[in-house]
């Protein structure tokens, strides 16, 4: 790894620590990292959308037209329409004509709601309804084990739980009497499900932190791999940079502790 | 211009005659070699139908397994599927290749072209042309292909003369069906013409390369349909639900009294706005990561409208950082007209609704910053949320805000429930705008939703009872939706 | 105000930064300090280990590294654990990689494991000490890496006829017939079992086209989220064993007494989970005690 | 025109898309894909509005010297640096005066922002003029790098990828990793056995969290592992299915209200 690459890597580690410092409190380093990433990611989005979508989906469609013909002479001239609609969005820059931008917006919302109606009805309602109509495995009702997930008992419980959950979501009926009882069973099932999926996610989230620790370790290893023949660029600058960052972090922590003690005494 | 077109066509004919020889040799049924090998029994009874409920250009094939597949000599390794195409198709494919080479030259992406290949020789010829000449040649070639494609159906009639068998795909042994999904793009080489006679053949292939061909299927034609029968159950659901909604909305218009049970999260909204006013701190409204195409976001817009109106009445500050530019524009409209409704258009500031960035965690970083620096009294999260839900909600709790959330992302509901004071679970998000507005018309649609749920429960119970008996499966199958 | 706070109040309203600090310390400490935690092994992993461990020298195992770098975190530890175990026992391995981005990663892993085989090691499992001398792993003698070919279902079927059908030469370009270990090795008949490590639907092809037709013992290594949907195959006997996610890999490492990346990760995971549960318990004790005190006070 | 036309558009396109779902024919598919292309292109044009808003908010902050205004420069520089890097690429072996060019561009930007807010406009305009001359000079005379708008060399620019890999990715990955801590603090704060519901949530979460815990007596680990598997596959599945059906109805109802013009709150009035 060349020294310039190592410096970039150090920069990444510094920003990692700066972001983690948010856990303690809002501080200048976090503010720096936050504002930086907002700008950089916005710029990144512009570039990716430009090269990835705007050029192939619009510019290249109209590339054989001429500007003085408003590109209407290009072979796929109908792509002028979305471009015009896009430009209509820009009427929002003006106060007087900003209402024009509601046309493309109306079109956009019309298209998306229109797609949603049959699609969501099919995927979320019809298919789930079909999935509920199972043939329950009566022969294997307890499956030798009450905690079996494929036994008839489990199938029945899933069915009843779903019904109860649906009952809980009724808006126009008070949760009273038998109805209320079923709804209560429904919310219990919901809560058990939520708890389980919360608990299941913890492992994946801790893995994210382990991953950050591994990156930091890789940086530390890189700083001291003088013996590694793979790095012919190695120089004493590597550990110096490493110690500088460590000293800086330690220094900042000590300063924070001193400040805290001072405040407490005062 | 005419000269150039002529030149291009001549070139293509030259190339096509060249490559025809190649195609033939590639297609050999090396019978000399095969003789020495043990031939497997051929697959039998190849049959096919036009793929149902599609846009056309596709045929579903099926055949009986070769007796030597899974039994007999058990030597069959795979099935090779061939289809017959007229020479015109091969010629058009070459023209398509040259179009793609021209396209590459225009876009300056010729790096991938292998030296000495056919594309390379085309490249050398075309490279000398100017940009506008390239466009002309490309467009006239495209026109040529377009016209040629129309003649394909006619050319197919010449079977078995004037054409060749083309390899389509291979399938592992044990498979007895193959869907030939052709392209509908006339520019693509996988184009399959509709209403043209198509012919197919399947070869059983052994590990040694011995092949035995099935009967030839054809002529068979593909076509597109105007109604997808697989989706009939969805038609019924949508129609019924629409009727229910319209009926209850009309009933509500006429002034029927519709009861709705109170929802904790909704009632908290009013209090929360009052609390913010008392404390003199702003209200943060997060629309989530959805685009304006997500219905959850659209539902959130209407909630934002109600919240903004109250905020304007109470004269509190509102902050709406957004993730998607279209969401931003719509939200600006919504907030602006809410202020207008409240009679305080002067209090509206352009940067109330502002754009942050279109990157999940960069957006979260920025919203976190807002929470810790502006210390909003109330955070409202409504819309689509992903992994960031817990980061937002925990930071908000750290800042001491009252938090109300609602999302239809099931995976995130647990985190909102744990970290927020009030959570609208799934469907409640969609009901919220009706609740907040208290307009009878909107409450009518809630009633329709309830009846739909009741219908689903009844159908599910009937279905599950009938599913236990053999005669019930027909009823159950009525509800199946195939893609 | 603060004077009135007793210990239970404090337990209930602890500043969450203490939670963060405690969790960071525990995570970093368990990551840095090298110690071992017991891992409870489950029968589905034990069956894989026992089968592989029972193989005599010079037997051949096919290991399919069918994941790409996206799933590296969960599945790489399995590759390391299984391959090292087999090589220590002088079992020979045929590698394939039927995922497009897999081969380069697999090649790197093979070389890494070869390096670690150079040192002497003693493992203590099944109650017996196993001393292994370090040795040089030789391509073509101890392993063959076939590399990547598209159409994985066909490749899996083709290998049932002859490995040379789809892979006339190995990943490095050597013809298979020139490799000493491939002499007389034609197809799955000469292979003791197949271990498929995959993060996608290649697993289905191994079950239906591979095990279904050629009936060899098939063992799976899967990502955590996939595991539950493959348990039915375990019940039906189509699959002889399943390792799921980091946890499954850690169990294999435990069985082979060869702690590696997975156990390192599980160490952090386990104590992080403990810290979280500990804080939940603290909060609840605080909650109940203060409520009881309040009720008493009310009386 | 102002009020009714947008709703008419919503109705026409909404109704068309609803019906299109049932028509597999290629002509209906053509319109469908074309309309999807439209929405995508409209979205990209709208991004300009978004970036303008980001720029405005940042400059406003600087102008009024609001709290933390200095950091707004960081945002603006990050934004413009990425845009410049994404449209330029290295031609030869060295970068030549590229870094000077980027710095001059940032200086130009800085001077322009200041010129628009400071009192001594002349000075800042002068300075920005100097920066402009420098960067135009470099752009004209330096051949070691080029500009590409219509081809995507910029995406492979090493400076661009370095910014993406070592500035953007570490921060984003770390933001994500904060979840490890927030999931802990959320559990501590909220998992109190206040009532039945909270207790159910608490107990099922703890059981699933303990699923791989080795330090437990009497065959408990196996039981817990099995129980957590059951919780994930039985009650959790039932809960999800109930929510999914409800959400489906909610989505369809909302979409219907929007298309039929019953719900109009999403569109402005003025």
The pLDDT tens digits of the residues spanning C36-47 come to: 788 888 888 999
Q: If contacts are CB pairs under 8 Å, which of residues 454-473 in chain B contact chain A? A: 454, 456-457, 459-461, 463-464, 466-468
Residues from C contacting B (CB-CB < 8 Å) are 16, 151, 153-154, 156-158, 161-162, 165, 209, 213
pLDDT band at A230 (very low <50, low <70, confident <90, very high): low
Q: Over the stretch B145-184, which tens digit does the pLDDT of each residue have? A: 888 888 888 888 888 888 889 899 888 888 899 999 888 8
Q: Same structural domain for residues D162 and D79?
A: yes
What six digits make up the tokens of A179?
């109805």
Q: Give the contacts of C48 (CB within 8 A, at least 6 positions apart).
A: C82, C195, C219, C240, C241, C242, C243, C252
Residues C102-118, mean pLDDT to the nearest whole number: 87
User: Is B419 near chain D, with CB under 8 Å?
Assistant: yes
- Asked if C157 and B78 come within 8 Å (Cβ–Cβ), the reply is yes
- D46 chain-B contacts, CB cut-off 8 A: 325-326, 328-329
Which among D177, D178, D185 is the top mutation candidate for probing chain C, defined by the most C β-carbons within 10 Å of its own β-carbon?
Answer: D185
User: Is B294 near chain A, with CB under 8 Å?
Assistant: yes
pLDDT given for residue B23 in this prediction: 45
Residue in C17, C73, C272 closest to A211 by CB:
C73
Which of A119-133, B25-39, C138-152, D110-124 has the weakest average pLDDT? B25-39
pLDDT given for residue B31 in this prediction: 47
User: In total, how many domains does chain A have?
Assistant: 1
Q: If contacts are CB pairs under 8 Å, which of residues 102-131 in chain B contact chain A? A: 106-107
B160/chain A closest Cα distance in angstroms: 37
Q: Is residue A229 part of a domain?
A: no
Q: What is the average pLDDT value for chain B, to the nearest integer?
A: 86
Q: If contacts are CB pairs under 8 Å, which of residues 21-40 in chain C contact chain A? A: 24, 27-28, 31
Residues D60-82, mean pLDDT to the nearest whole number: 92
Which among B70, B173, B178, B204 is the top mutation candidate for probing chain C, defined by the most C β-carbons within 10 Å of its own β-carbon?
Answer: B173
Residues B55-79, mean pLDDT to the nearest whole number: 87
pLDDT given for residue B11 in this prediction: 58
Residue B128: domain span: 2-220
Which one is predicted more confidently, C100 or C229? C100
Q: Same structural domain for residues D228 and D158?
A: no
- Asked if B107 and D53 come within 8 Å (Cβ–Cβ), the reply is no
Q: Is residue B381 part of a domain?
A: yes
What six digits make up the tokens of B324?
């998607």
> Which strands, in side-by-side order, build the sheet including B58-64?
B44-50, B58-64, B177-181
Which one is predicted more confidently, B56 or A164? A164
C49/chain B closest Cα distance in angstroms: 31
Inform me whether the pLDDT recorded for B28 exceeds 50.
Answer: no
pLDDT band at C298 (very low <50, low <70, confident <90, very high): low
pLDDT band at B128 (very low <50, low <70, confident <90, very high): confident
Rounded Cα–Cα distance for residues A110 and D14 (Å): 4
Q: What is the average pLDDT value for chain D, to the nearest integer?
A: 89
Rounded Cα–Cα distance for residues B314 and B271 (Å): 12
Q: Same structural domain for residues D20 and D93?
A: no
Q: Same structural domain for residues D124 and D166?
A: yes
Q: Over the stretch A28-56, which tens digit does the pLDDT of each residue have? A: 999 999 999 999 999 999 999 998 889 88
Say if residues D11 and D260 touch (Cβ distance below 8 Å).
yes
Q: Same structural domain for residues D166 and D241?
A: no
Say if residues D128 and D112 touch (Cβ distance below 8 Å).
yes
- Return the SS3 of B85: strand
pLDDT band at C5 (very low <50, low <70, confident <90, very high): low
Q: Is residue D12 part of a domain?
A: yes
Residues C261-265, mean pLDDT to the nearest whole number: 85
Residue A184: domain span: 137-207
Residue with tokens 């970036």: D51
Of D140, D170, D200, at which residue does a domain stop?
A: D170
> Does a cis peptide bond (omega within 30 degrees of 0) precede residue B347?
no
- A78 chain-D contacts, CB cut-off 8 A: 34
Q: Is residue D112 part of a domain?
A: yes
User: Is B38 near chain C, with CB under 8 Å?
Assistant: no
* Cβ contacts of C234-240, under 8 Å, gap ≥ 24: C234/C44, C238/C207, C238/C211, C238/C212, C239/C207, C239/C211, C240/C47, C240/C48, C240/C51, C240/C193
B213/chain A closest Cα distance in angstroms: 41
Rounded CA Rg of chain A: 30
Q: Same structural domain for residues D135 and D224?
A: no
Inform me whether the pLDDT recorded for A11 exceeds 90.
Answer: yes
Residue in B138, B238, B417 closest to A118 by CB:
B238
- The partner residues of C129 in beta bridges, in order of sequence, read C124
Rounded Cα–Cα distance for residues A115 and D32 (Å): 10
Q: Is residue A202 part of a domain?
A: yes
Rounded Cα–Cα distance for residues B58 and B55 (Å): 8
B281/chain C closest Cα distance in angstroms: 23
pLDDT given for residue B21 in this prediction: 43
Residue with tokens 């008949």: C189
pLDDT given for residue A232 in this prediction: 75
- C263 chain-A contacts, CB cut-off 8 A: none
User: b/e string for A92-105 if b means 16 or more Cβ within 10 A?
Assistant: beeeeebbbbbbbb
Q: Same structural domain for residues D227 and D192?
A: yes
Q: Over the stretch B249-283, which tens digit does the pLDDT of each residue have? A: 998 888 877 788 888 888 898 889 999 999 999 99
Query: In C117-229, which ranges are E strands?
Result: 121-125, 128-132, 143-145, 193-198, 218-222
- Asked if D185 and C16 come within 8 Å (Cβ–Cβ), the reply is yes
- Asked if D184 and C275 come within 8 Å (Cβ–Cβ), the reply is yes
pLDDT given for residue B190 in this prediction: 84
- Alpha helices (H) along chain C: 7-12, 16-32, 43-53, 72-88, 102-116, 152-161, 163-166, 202-205, 212-214, 227-235, 245-255, 261-298
- Asked if A86 and D46 come within 8 Å (Cβ–Cβ), the reply is yes
Q: Using CB atoms, which chains have 3+ pairs under 8 A with D?
A: A, B, C
Residues B315-330, mean pLDDT to the nearest whole number: 93
Of D130, D152, D170, at which residue does a domain stop?
A: D170
Residue D46: domain span: 1-67
What six digits make up the tokens of B367?
């919203």
Q: Same structural domain for residues B71 and B99?
A: yes
Q: Same structural domain for residues B85 and B201?
A: yes
Rounded Cα–Cα distance for residues B239 and A118 (Å): 10
Find the closest chain D residue to A152 by CA distance: D234
DSSP state letters, D88-141:
EEE-SSS-TTHHHHHHHHHHHHHHHHHHHHSS-HHHHHHHHHHHHHHHHHHHHH
Q: Is residue B156 part of a domain?
A: yes
Q: Over the stretch C43-76, which tens digit does the pLDDT of each residue have? A: 889 999 999 999 999 999 999 999 887 677 788 8
Look at residues B293, B291, B275, B295 and name the one whose alpha carbon lies nearest to residue B283.
B275
* Cβ contacts of D26-33, under 8 Å, gap ≥ 24: D26/B55, D26/B56, D26/B57, D26/B184, D26/B224, D29/B55, D29/B184
User: Is C269 near chain A, with CB under 8 Å?
Assistant: yes
User: In total, how many domains does chain D have?
Assistant: 3
- Return the SS3 of B164: strand
Q: Same structural domain for residues B235 and B300?
A: no
Find the closest chain A residue to C74 by CA distance: A207
Q: Is residue D267 part of a domain?
A: no
pLDDT given for residue C22 in this prediction: 94
Rounded Cα–Cα distance for residues D42 and A109 (Å): 12
Say if residues D7 and A106 touch (Cβ distance below 8 Å).
yes
Rounded Cα–Cα distance for residues A170 and B260 (Å): 9
B320/chain A closest Cα distance in angstroms: 16
- Asked if A125 and D249 come within 8 Å (Cβ–Cβ), the reply is yes
Residues B292-321, mean pLDDT to the nearest whole number: 92
pLDDT band at B36 (very low <50, low <70, confident <90, very high): low
Rounded Cα–Cα distance for residues B393 and D190 (Å): 12
Q: Is residue D91 part of a domain?
A: yes
Q: Same structural domain for residues D93 and D155?
A: yes
> Percent of chain D at pLDDT above 90?
49
Phi/psi region, residue C147 (left: phi>0; alpha: psi -120 to 50; beta: rest), is: left
Q: Over the stretch B191-202, which tens digit does the pLDDT of each residue have? A: 888 888 899 999
pLDDT given for residue B24 in this prediction: 43
Q: Over the stretch B387-403, which tens digit does the pLDDT of each residue have? A: 899 999 999 998 999 99
> Which strands, in side-by-side order, build the sheet including B318-322?
B353-355, B318-322, B283-288, B378-384, B402-407, B422-425
User: Is B186 near chain D, with CB under 8 Å?
Assistant: no
Which among C19, C280, C288 is the top mutation candidate for probing chain D, defined by the most D β-carbons within 10 Å of its own β-carbon?
Answer: C280
Q: Same structural domain for residues D186 and D97?
A: no
User: b/e string for B234-247 if b means 16 or more Cβ within 10 A?
Assistant: bbebbeebbebbbe
Q: Same structural domain for residues B234 and B316?
A: no
Rounded Cα–Cα distance for residues C163 and C145 (Å): 12
Inform me whether the pLDDT recorded for A218 exceeds 70.
Answer: yes
- Asked if D250 and B449 come within 8 Å (Cβ–Cβ), the reply is yes
Q: Using CB atoms, which chains have 3+ pairs under 8 A with B?
A: A, C, D
Rounded Cα–Cα distance for residues A123 and D167 (Å): 40
Which among B205, B207, B399 is the top mutation candidate for probing chain C, defined by the most C β-carbons within 10 Å of its own β-carbon?
Answer: B207
Rounded Cα–Cα distance for residues B359 and B372 (Å): 20
Q: Is residue D90 part of a domain?
A: yes
Residues A228-251, mean pLDDT to the nearest whole number: 85
User: In total, how many domains does chain B have?
Assistant: 3
Of D170, D194, D225, at which residue does a domain stop?
A: D170
Look at residues B80, B50, B61, B81 and name the one whose alpha carbon lies nearest to residue B196.
B50
Q: Is residue A36 part of a domain?
A: no
pLDDT given for residue B406 in this prediction: 94
> Does a cis peptide bond (omega within 30 degrees of 0) precede residue C248?
no
Domain with residue B412: its CATH number is 3.40.50
pLDDT band at D1 (very low <50, low <70, confident <90, very high): low
pLDDT given for residue B16 in this prediction: 54
Which among C283, C285, C290 is the top mutation candidate for probing chain D, defined by the most D β-carbons within 10 Å of its own β-carbon?
Answer: C283
pTM of the model: 0.89
Q: Same structural domain for residues D80 and D150?
A: yes
DSSP state letters, B407-474:
ES-GGGHHHHHHHSSEEEETHHHHHHHHHHH--HHHHHHHHHHHHHHHHHHHHHHHHHHHHTSGGGHH
Rounded Cα–Cα distance for residues B164 and D47 (Å): 51
How many residues does the structure list for chain D?
Answer: 270
Look at residues A245, A250, A241, A260 and name the one whose alpha carbon lies nearest to residue A15.
A245
Q: Same structural domain for residues B72 and B136?
A: yes
Q: Is residue A258 part of a domain?
A: no
Q: Same structural domain for residues D63 and D74?
A: no
């Amino acid at each position: 790894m060349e020294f310039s690459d190592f410096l970039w890597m150090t920069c990444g580690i510094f920003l990692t620590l700066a972001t983690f410092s948010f856990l303690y409190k809002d501080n200048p380093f976090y503010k720096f990292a936050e504002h930086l990433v907002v700008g950089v990611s916005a710029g990144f989005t512009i570039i990716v959308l430009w090269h990835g979508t705007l050029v192939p989906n619009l510019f290249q469609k109209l590339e054989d037209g001429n500007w003085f013909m408003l590109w209407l002479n290009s072979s796929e001239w109908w792509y002028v329409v979305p471009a015009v609609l896009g430009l209509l969005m820009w009427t929002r820059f003006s106060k007087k004509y900003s209402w024009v931008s509601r046309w493309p917006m109306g079109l956009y919302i019309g298209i998306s709601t229109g797609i949603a109606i049959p699609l969501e009805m099919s995927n979320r309602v019809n298919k789930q309804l079909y999935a509920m109509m199972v043939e329950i495995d009566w022969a294997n009702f307890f499956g030798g084990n009450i905690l079996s997930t494929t036994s008839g008992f489990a199938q029945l419980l899933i069915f009843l739980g779903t019904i109860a959950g649906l009952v809980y979501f009724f808006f126009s009926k008070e949760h009273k009497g038998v109805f209320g009882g079923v709804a209560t069973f429904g919310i219990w099932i919901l809560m058990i499900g939520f708890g389980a999926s919360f608990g299941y996610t913890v492992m994946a989230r801790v893995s994210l932190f382990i991953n950050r620790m591994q990156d930091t370790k890789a940086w530390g290893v890189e700083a001291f791999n003088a013996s590694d023949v793979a790095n012919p660029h190695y120089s004493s600058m590597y550990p110096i940079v490493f110690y500088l960052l460590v000293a800086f972090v330690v220094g900042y922590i000590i300063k924070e502790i001193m400040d805290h003690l001072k405040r407490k005494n005062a | 211009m005419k000269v150039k077109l002529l030149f291009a066509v001549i070139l293509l004919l030259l190339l096509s005659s060249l490559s025809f020889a190649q195609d033939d040799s590639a297609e050999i049924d090396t019978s000399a070699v095969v003789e020495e090998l043990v031939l497997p029994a051929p697959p039998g009874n190849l049959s096919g139908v036009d793929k149902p409920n599609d846009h056309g250009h596709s045929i579903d094939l099926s055949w009986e397994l070769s007796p030597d597949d899974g039994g007999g000599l058990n030597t069959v390794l795979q099935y090779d599927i061939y289809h017959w195409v007229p020479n015109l198709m091969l010629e058009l494919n070459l023209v398509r290749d040259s179009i793609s080479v021209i396209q590459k030259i225009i876009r300056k992406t010729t790096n991938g072209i292998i030296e000495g290949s056919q594309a390379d020789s085309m490249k050398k010829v075309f490279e000398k042309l100017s940009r506008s000449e390239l466009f002309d040649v490309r467009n006239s070639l495209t026109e040529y292909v377009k016209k040629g494609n129309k003649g394909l159906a006619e050319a197919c009639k010449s079977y078995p003369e004037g054409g060749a068998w083309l390899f389509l795909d291979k399938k592992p042994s044990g498979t007895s069906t193959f869907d030939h999904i052709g392209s509908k793009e006339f520019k693509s080489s996988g184009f399959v013409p509709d209403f043209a006679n198509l012919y197919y053949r399947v070869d059983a292939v052994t590990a040694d390369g011995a092949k035995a061909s099935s009967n030839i299927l054809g002529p068979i034609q593909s076509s597109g349909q105007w109604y997808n029968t697989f989706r009939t159950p969805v038609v019924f659901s949508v129609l019924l639900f629409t009727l229910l909604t319209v009926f209850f909305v009309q009933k509500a218009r006429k002034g029927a009294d519709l009861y709705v049970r109170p929802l904790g999260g909704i009632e908290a909204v009013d209090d929360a706005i009052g609390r913010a006013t008392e404390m003199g701190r702003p209200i943060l409204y997060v629309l989530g990561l959805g685009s304006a195409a997500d219905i959850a976001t659209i539902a959130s817009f209407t909630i934002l409208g109600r919240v903004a109106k109250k905020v304007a009445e109470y004269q509190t500050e509102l902050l709406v950082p957004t993730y998607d530019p279209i969401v931003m524009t719509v939200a600006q409209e919504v907030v602006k007209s809410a202020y207008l409704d409240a009679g305080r258009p002067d209090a509206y500031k352009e940067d109330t609704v502002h754009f942050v960035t279109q990157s999940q965690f960069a957006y979260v970083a920025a919203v976190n910053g807002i929470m810790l620096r502006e210390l909003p009294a109330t955070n409202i999260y409504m819309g689509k949320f992903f992994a960031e839900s817990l980061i937002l909600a925990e930071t908000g709790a750290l800042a001491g805000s009252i938090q109300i959330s609602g999302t239809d992302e099931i995976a995130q509901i647990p985190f909102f429930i744990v970290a927020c004071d009030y959570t609208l679970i799934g469907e409640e998000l969609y009901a919220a705008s009706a609740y907040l507005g208290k307009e009878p018309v909107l409450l009518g649609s809630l009633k329709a939703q309830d009846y739909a749920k009741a219908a689903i429960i009844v159908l599910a119970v009937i279905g599950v009872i009938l599913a236990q008996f053999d005669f019930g499966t027909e009823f159950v199958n009525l509800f199946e939706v195939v893609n | 105000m603060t004077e009135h706070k007793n210990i239970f109040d404090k337990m209930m309203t602890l500043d969450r930064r203490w939670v963060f600090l405690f969790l960071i310390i525990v995570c970093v400490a368990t990551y840095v300090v090298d110690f071992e935690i017991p891992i409870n092994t489950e029968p589905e992993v034990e069956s894989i280990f026992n089968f592989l461990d029972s193989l005599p020298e010079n037997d051949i195992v096919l290991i399919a590294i069918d994941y790409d770098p996206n799933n590296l975190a969960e599945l790489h530890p399995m590759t390391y654990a299984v391959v090292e175990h087999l090589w220590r026992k002088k079992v020979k391995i045929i590698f394939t990689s039927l995922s497009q981005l897999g081969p380069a990663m697999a090649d790197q892993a093979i070389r890494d494991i070869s390096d670690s085989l150079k040192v002497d090691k003693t493992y203590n499992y099944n109650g017996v000490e196993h001393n292994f001398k370090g040795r040089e792993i030789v391509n073509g003698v101890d392993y063959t890496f076939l590399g990547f070919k598209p159409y994985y279902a066909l490749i899996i079927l083709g290998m049932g006829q002859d490995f040379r059908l789809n892979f006339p030469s190995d990943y490095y370009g050597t013809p298979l017939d020139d490799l000493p270990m491939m002499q007389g090795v034609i197809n799955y008949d000469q292979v003791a079992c197949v271990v498929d490590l995959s993060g996608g639907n290649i697993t289905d092809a191994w079950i239906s086209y591979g095990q279904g037709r050629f009936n060899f013992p098939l063992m799976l290594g899967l990502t955590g989220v996939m595991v539950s949907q493959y348990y039915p195959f375990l019940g039906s006997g189509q699959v002889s064993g399943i390792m799921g996610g980091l946890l499954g890999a850690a169990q294999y490492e435990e069985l082979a007494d060869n702690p590696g990346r997975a156990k390192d990760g599980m160490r952090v995971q386990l104590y992080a989970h403990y810290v979280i549960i500990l804080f939940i318990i603290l909060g609840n004790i605080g909650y109940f005690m203060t409520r009881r005190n309040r009720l008493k006070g009310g009386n | 025109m102002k009020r009714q036309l947008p709703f008419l558009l919503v109705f026409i396109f909404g109704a068309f898309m609803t019906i299109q779902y049932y028509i597999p024919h290629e002509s209906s598919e053509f319109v469908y894909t074309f309309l999807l292309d439209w929405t995508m292109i409209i979205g990209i044009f709208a991004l300009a509005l978004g970036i303008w808003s980001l720029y405005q908010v940042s400059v406003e902050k600087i102008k009024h010297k609001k709290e933390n205004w200095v950091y707004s420069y960081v945002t603006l520089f990050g934004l413009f640096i990425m845009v410049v890097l994404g449209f330029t690429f290295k031609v030869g072996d060295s970068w030549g005066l590229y870094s000077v060019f980027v710095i001059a561009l940032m200086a130009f930007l800085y001077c322009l922002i200041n010129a628009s807010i400071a009192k001594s406009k002349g000075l800042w305009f002068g300075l920005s003029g100097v920066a402009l001359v420098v960067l135009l000079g470099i752009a004209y005379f330096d051949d070691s790098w080029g500009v590409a708008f219509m081809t995507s060399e910029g995406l492979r620019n090493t400076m661009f990828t370095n910014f993406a890999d070592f500035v953007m990715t570490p921060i984003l990955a770390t933001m994500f990793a904060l979840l490890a801590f927030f999931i802990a603090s959320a559990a501590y704060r909220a998992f109190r056995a206040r009532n039945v519901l909270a207790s159910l949530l608490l107990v099922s979460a703890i059981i699933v969290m303990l699923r791989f815990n080795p330090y437990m007596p009497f065959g408990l680990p196996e039981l817990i592992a099995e129980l957590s598997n059951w919780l994930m596959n039985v009650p959790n599945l039932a809960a999800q299915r109930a929510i999914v059906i409800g959400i489906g109805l909610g989505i369809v109802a909302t979409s219907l209200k929007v298309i039929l013009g019953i719900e109009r709150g999403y569109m402005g009035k003025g």
